[in-house]
Structure 1
Amino acid sequence: MKKTRWFSAWLALAAACTFAGPPAAYAQEKWPSRSIKLVVPYPPGGGADLVARSLGEALYKRMGQPIVIDNRAGGTGTIGAAAVAKSAADGYTLLLNQPGPGVTALYTLKSLSYNPLRDLAPVILMGKAPIVVLVPANSPYRTMDDLVKYAKAHPSELNYGSPGIGTAGHIAGEMLQQLAGIKLNHIPYKGSASTANGLMGGQIALGFDTIPPNLSLVQSGRLHALAVASDVRSPNLPEVPHGAEVSLPGFEVYTWYAISGPAGLPGAVVDTLNHATNEWIASDEGRKRLDELGILPQRGGTPEAFASFLQTEARKTETVVRAAHIVSE
């Protein structure tokens, strides 16, 4: 009888462990316990890829698990972003987020398989870099006032270039027209190099692009910078005025670098990632990498600050895109 009672008690205990054990163990599992995939929605070698690889090494040192960089290019960044948005919200698939897949595509693409504001969880905005307004070295426009005055007197005469439809440069060009009350013709190029060549070759009167690929051209005198689309001057071009300084308050367009995950990412995962990334931003390696990309000094922050930034960017971008009727396939 004692054996029977003991065996029955053992069976009851075993059953309790069988059904209660796995969930408890899962809940207590420390994150991360395996490698993390960081999706970069662009080809290797670009700014986003360089940030991801540098950050990945730092996160490995801080969290003890490998960061696997997955370059999933295509669809102006939306293919990689969609894959992350549809992945499990367990912290093992993340996105190196940027304006195109993170905001702009929502308003410029006819169809999008995810909503970046709803289906991606904000983790951290690492930093933002302003767009610069460029003209050829021999341009008659030496200031933004020169340019705006001429464009107002000669509507639709001047052509401007950007690295492509829906890029931050394109958004900046359309925003300038709306703020200044001028009309320009957009010439979309395929990338920064061809935009700069168009400027130096005289095919376009002005161009809008990020600072790093054009910095040496400005410093060598082959291009001239009229303004940066920002509320502060850029440390890379400290002599170039920002929007408000050229009577264009609100002229702010940035390319930015951030970390996002699928919606529903656990709060503990977000906090751990946010803390570790802020540490990298403050490190010598992080500062060096972000300096190279023309990132403004205000860097890092909380998930809540990034979420608020995204809402502001979305409102601003939607206004510009709708007014300019920017649509891409």
Structure 2
Amino acid sequence: MPNTLNPLELIARRWQPSARLVRQAALATVVMAVIIVITGGAVRLTQSGLGCSTWPKCTPDSLTPTSAMGINGLVEFGNRALTGVLCVVVGAFIIAARARHPRRRSLTRLGWAQFWIVMLNAVVGGITVLTGLNPYIVSSHFLASTALLTVAVLSWKRAGEGDEEPRDLVARPVRQLAWLLVLAAGALTVIGTIVTGTGPHAGDATKLDHRIPLDWREITQLHVDFAYIVVGLAVALWFTLRAVKAPAAARRHLLELFGCIAFQGVVGYVQYFNGLPEFVIELHMTGSALLWVAVLRVFLSLRDRGPLLDDGDAALAEPSEETAQQATREPSEQGTVPAQPTAGTSASSR
């Protein structure tokens, strides 16, 4: 019996997408991951978590909401429908990445990782409904969406770079400072979900005992403290990158992060001093997703994996911005003589 090719292999033999198309497909997964965060927030803030009374159907007798369910049923079902759109977008990225020649297994693995996270989050969403909007499950639902966003950003970055061994563009202490920024921003996100879980938008506003049993003001203060830590680390990294003359891309991404931090700070204080209005909280959740994307882009810009080669696109065959800057920089600009590789540079940094 002849060997049977799987569908992805058949597509790869008949279609060769450009590297630019693969990168655009990866960017689409990032956009959809952010949209899912926004629509998930809308479900929570409009008290539509039980708009569909069961899962995977909307009602025991209907896959879609009925007119008697009103706006809550439409909001909840709309979020579920967007999960289907997300699956299509992730699937398109997997197909495009698999069809690229030469095959880049690391890229297809990231695509499949997104797919399985989406499946996991769909199950978590079902458990959320079946448990009557348990605040812990509601919070884990948001964190799973953040995990999806993380892998989507990694996919976007990998789709635009080569496959050489990763090379640090800054010294190890600078990378470690950037790691601290990532960890602090991650902790800020987790604490933010706990803040919401202790307040009126924990899940079901009609049940006061359906909240995380922590003092709302104390956990909010902890959230603010970590926000200041993120600001401090970002400022420290800015001056450090300037001092070591880091690549312009890294400093540009850090400026984008400052914009997200400023937006989040303003929105956070507005919602705190105005009784947690739903629309402002939705803006805060959107800002949280964008801030996380910005933090990841800063961190990933501090290493290089060489240019992305594409026979059909000479522009992509040119050295990356970071590589070109490193190659043309005068030794005196860097403050050191041309150095031999040292043990302080980690080849395994991602």
TM-score tier (shorter)? under 0.3
| Structure with the higher strand share, 1 or 2 | 1
The structure showing larger relative contact order (alpha-carbon pairs under 8 Å, at least 6 residues apart) is 1
TM-score (norm 2): 0.22
Larger Rg: 1
